[in-house]
Structure 1
Amino acid sequence: MSALATALRRFLAAVSFLTRLPVPDWVRPDAPTLAAAMAYFPLVGALLGLFQAGCALALHAFMSPDALAVLLVALAAIATGALHYDGLADTVDAMGGGWSREQRLAIMKDPHIGTFGVLALLLTVLAQFVALKSFHSVESLCRALIVAPCLARLAVVWLAWQLPYARAEGGKGRFAELLRGGHVLGALLIGGGVTLGVGGWLGSLLLALAAMLAWLAGRYFQQRLGGITGDALGFVSQACEILAYGVWAALQP
């Protein structure tokens, strides 16, 4: 397989994993392909944000800020199949309801959502709504929409590389154990390039804040779980997005 075909397969594997968009049958992402595909996670995040930004640009003149914010949150959830919302809810349920590492990991595997998870979802959606409706200009909003999901996926890749996988029996994020330094470097180049290129000085600040958040989350999950899980990575992704939207809305020119 040529280098271009390999890169395309990895990119489409990232699209398949992070979104509900259909990909060709020949992609068939196995664990090594998914691990290599993590280099493209920030790019997929940026493209999702670009889609939201296009919708915001086309519709902002016809919708109130509140209605537009609701639409943008809904679009992100639909496009991703609420993947990271699910991880956030499972993680908060586990941290709030488990007294031991084993209990927390068991709660994460439970398909049912608990009170902590419901509250976390409500607060997350509310925080996203408040941040998105607070932008004064559609230009600032569009820039934030591109940077935030890109930066969130970059944080996920970095954390997956830094921490061991917490489950001995495997799980939906186990492929991250095959992540290599070259994949992380690719994600850093793409994610950092988009964040700095689109965000400017705000992008530099957000990179630093996202790195700090990922470091703190990594220490916390190492202590509470003994490593990382797919659900915990989903939590980090949502936290980074909210951080990016909130800081950008507060400091927008």
Structure 2
Amino acid sequence: MPTDSRVADGVRLAVTTFTTLPVRAGRVDRDAASVAMALAPAVGALLGAVLAGALLLLTQIAPPLVAAAVTVGLAALLTRGLHLDGLADTVDALGSYRRGAAALEIMKKPDVGPFGVVALVLVLLLQAAALAELAGRSWPAVLAAVVAATAAGRLGVAVACRRGVPAARPEGLGALVAGTVGPVALVLGTAAVALLAVPAVPGRPWQGPVAVVAALAVAVVLLGHLVRRLGGVTGDVLGATVEIVTTLVYLGLVLSG
């Protein structure tokens, strides 16, 4: 069982990794990382509650698309844009068709290539469009949708950090957190996020959980490809996973049929 100090250090690491909250840093090691990555969905849920509140408030004074765009911007602000940066770097590496160290070198460059730009524009547009559609639903549905999608994105990080998945580099965030999350934490996290998603689609209680599970399944397939291409996970891969899973859940919640 984790000690109180390990849990406290893990909570601090989770909050400082996934938000801009000015929390005093604790010990940073793999024990703390194990707790932090397991708690990532909880931090995502809290962040999602803030974003849902902002969206609901903004829709009272602005058109839905404007409110949605501002909410997407707020999400980037509250996370320092790190996940978006990771998405751009990861897609640039994939677009280069290089493997191993050569691909990792591309990810370290400070500039953003055309593949990364397209990925950023597409993800931001899809998130804003989905939020604009969700804004027309009841406030409990909006809250459930945004909380579940934001939590699912961070649950994707826990999935990427599951045991057996290596780090691509011997240093950096990937090396700190890779392989630190056990199966129990993943099962509990998935069940909790799926449950949060139940009220997201009025009249269709199954659609939210299905969207969460489907997005995570896509993430597992993509992560397998990235591990083969890069040799493991990196901080950029984790950031890309956040944005991809979040976007896929939003899309799953607004689909109708």
TM-score norm. by structure 1 comes to 0.89
Which residue number in structure 2 is paired with residue 67 of structure 1?
Answer: 66
Partner of 1:247: 252
Contact 1:87/1:232 (<8 A) preserved: yes
Distance 1:138 1:12, change over 3 A: farther
Change (3 A) 1:241 1:180: closer
Alpha-carbon offset, residue 125 of structure 1: 0.9
The answer to which structure, 1 or 2, has the higher relative contact order (CA under 8 A, 6+ apart) is 1
Aligned position for 1:164: 166
Deviates more, 1:116-125 or 1:219-228: 219-228
SS at match of 1:212: helix
State the identity %: 35
CA distance in 2, matches of 1:54, 1:190: 23
Give deviations 1:101-121, integer Å, cap 9, x for gaps: 221111011122222212211
- After TM superposition, give the deviation of residue 158 of structure 1 in Å: 1.2
Kindly provide the CA deviation profile for residues 124-161 of structure 1, in whole angstroms up to 9, marking residues without a partner as x.
Answer: 11111111112231433322110001111112111221
Q: CA deviation at 1:171?
A: 2.1
CA separation of 1:223 and 1:30: change in aligned 2, threshold 3 A: closer
Structure having the larger proportion of residues in helix: 1
1:214 has 2:219 as partner:
yes
Deviations 1:70-93 (A, max 9, x none): 111011000011111010000011
Residues 41 and 154 in structure 2, CA contact (< 8 A), matched pair in contact too? yes
In the alignment, the residues of structure 1 paired with residue 125 and residue 101 of structure 2 have an alpha-carbon distance, to the nearest angstrom, of: 31
Structural RMSD (CA): 2.1
Paired residues of 2:89 and 2:236 also in contact (CA < 8 A): yes
Q: SS of the counterpart of 2:178?
A: helix
Unaligned runs of 5+ in 1: none
Aligned length: 247
Tell me if structure 2 keeps the 8 A contact 1:88–1:238.
yes
How far does the alpha carbon of each residue in 1:179-225 deviate from its partner, in whole angstroms, 9 at most, with x for none?
Answer: 042xx523542452133144242232023202321221122113211
User: Is 2:85–2:236's contact at 8 Å kept on the other side of the alignment?
Assistant: yes
One-letter code aligned to 2:174: G
Q: CA separation in 2, counterparts of 1:29 and 1:223?
A: 28
Aligned equivalent of 2:208:
203
8 A contact 1:98–1:107 mirrored in 2 = no
- Residue identity opposite 1:143 in structure 2: A
Distance 1:187 1:20, change over 3 A: farther
Take 1:42 and 1:245, find their aligned partners in 2: how far apart are those partners? 16
Q: Take 1:178 and 1:247, find their aligned partners in 2: how far apart are those partners?
A: 29
